Structure 1
Amino acid sequence: MIKTIIFDFGDVFLTLDKSATGKHLKENGISELDAELIGINNSYEKGLISSDEFSQHYTNRFKKLTSQEFKDAWNSILIEFPEHRLNFLKKLKASGDYKLILLSNTNELHIDWVKENISVYEEFRSCFDHFYLSHEIHFRKPDESIFEFVLNENNLNPKETLFIDDTLEHTLTAKKIGIHTWHLKAGKEDVTELFLKKANLF
């Protein structure tokens, strides 16, 4: 029986356009991210470098790219927060039936944009018992350590825990350590279908 539900943020609640950043960077002459830049992105998601340092890695490497152009490209992935998803979450919170946890790979630039542009962000955040952002806790999915951190911090039994994420790799790691999972297919499924899609767990 599920007692705790761990949700991802992007493309579970917040609608993303995952191709947007690549398109914007390509317009500025950056066609592909090499291993070095991917490593820098991962370090930034873990909060190991500042937003200024992160931006400078790109503007130093690509001389025609301004800091603002980079930030605009970086944040272009973020689209909207559909109201029906917040309403679903609020009802779930009000039921008191489950511990609710958010676990998101994200970064300071994205969260700053969300705070400025998504008016329901604080209301959304208040629905969770715990709210874990990768750049604040210095772990990121799909590393096993991030799931172990959340389980230990909250004294959770994996067999009583469901993890919902739109990235298959993340759900595979969670499943490996005994957590129930739902690999939500963004654009084809919606988090509001939880009790329909995973009826066997509740």
Structure 2
Amino acid sequence: MIKTIIFDFGDVFINLDKENASKNIFNILRIEKLSKEMIAVNDLYEQGLISTDEFITFYLENFPNLSKQSLIEAWNSILLDLPEYRLQFLKNLKTTTDYKLILLSNTNELHINWIKENISIYEIFKNCFDAFYLSHEINLRKPNTNIFEFVLNENNLNAAECLFIDDTSEHIISASALGIHTWNLDPKHEDVINLLEVKYDLF
């Protein structure tokens, strides 16, 4: 029986535009794909292992025609909105059930700062969770299994009593390997608000 629900953030609660953001980044950098070094820097930034200043400096030094503002705008263009109806679903889940609610998100300081400034319901949303883990704050990221082990250990959880919801299959595979129940949500055809119907067999 499920006692804890662990949610991803992007494309589960907050809508993302990954395709447009990639185009924006490629356009301002005048490249067709990210280099291995850029991917490594992005991963370090997402884990909070380099600062925002270091992240920005890396790109400005490697792309001399790039401005700080254009980089930040392109980087944040992935973020859209957090629908009120999803917040209402979360609030209902918190008040009408006994499930422990945890958020586990790969994110970074620039993104979360944008969300704090532009998503008016963010603090209300955050307060619905019993634990709230952002990769850049805990220095761990999905799909590495150690981030799931961290959540289980920090909250004294039994993996078999947990359900993890994420839109990325790699993350789902890692969680499943630890015995966590999963829902690989497809944001184009599914919505987290239908959780109890989709996963009715677990509740």
Deviation at 1:27, TM superposition (A): 2.1
Match of 1:46 in 2: 47
Query: 1:81, 1:126 → 2: CA distance?
Result: 15
Match of 2:12 in 1: 12
**Is 1:23 equivalent to 2:30 in the alignment?**
no
The letter for the 2-side match of 1:19 is: E
Query: 2:144, 2:16 → 1: CA distance?
Result: 22
**Is 1:59 equivalent to 2:52 in the alignment?**
no
What SS does the aligned partner of 1:80 have?
coil
Deviation at 1:22, TM superposition (A): 1.5
What SS does the aligned partner of 1:16 have?
coil
What SS does the aligned partner of 2:91 have?
helix
Query: 1:25, 1:142 → 2: CA distance?
Result: 23
The letter for the 2-side match of 1:165 is: D
Match of 1:189 in 2: 190
Query: 2:31, 2:10 → 1: CA distance?
Result: 24
- The worse-fitting range, judged by mean Cα deviation, of 134-143 and 49-58 is 49-58
Query: 2:58, 2:20 → 1: CA distance?
Result: 20
The letter for the 2-side match of 1:13 is: F
Q: 1:20–1:73: 8 Å Cα contact kept in structure 2?
A: no
Deviation at 1:130, TM superposition (A): 0.3
What SS does the aligned partner of 1:163 have?
strand
**Share of identical aligned residues, percent?**
60
**TM alignment of 1:1-202, pairs within 5 A:** 1-28=1-28, 29-202=30-203
Query: 1:187, 1:64 → 2: CA distance?
Result: 36
Q: Taking structure 2 as the reference length, what is the TM-score of the superposition?
A: 0.98
Query: 1:50, 1:108 → 2: CA distance?
Result: 8
- The worse-fitting range, judged by mean Cα deviation, of 175-184 and 18-27 is 18-27
Query: 1:123, 1:79 → 2: CA distance?
Result: 18
Query: 2:113, 2:136 → 1: CA distance?
Result: 12
Q: 1:171–1:182: 8 Å Cα contact kept in structure 2?
A: yes
What SS does the aligned partner of 2:71 have?
helix
Query: 2:170, 2:124 → 1: CA distance?
Result: 29
Q: 1:43–1:49: 8 Å Cα contact kept in structure 2?
A: yes
Deviation at 1:148, TM superposition (A): 0.2
The letter for the 2-side match of 1:32 is: K
The letter for the 1-side match of 2:130 is: D
Query: 1:130, 1:72 → 2: CA distance?
Result: 29
4+ aligned runs moved over 6 Å, structure 1: none
Query: 1:162, 1:144 → 2: CA distance?
Result: 15
Deviation at 1:158, TM superposition (A): 0.5
Deviation at 1:95, TM superposition (A): 1.5
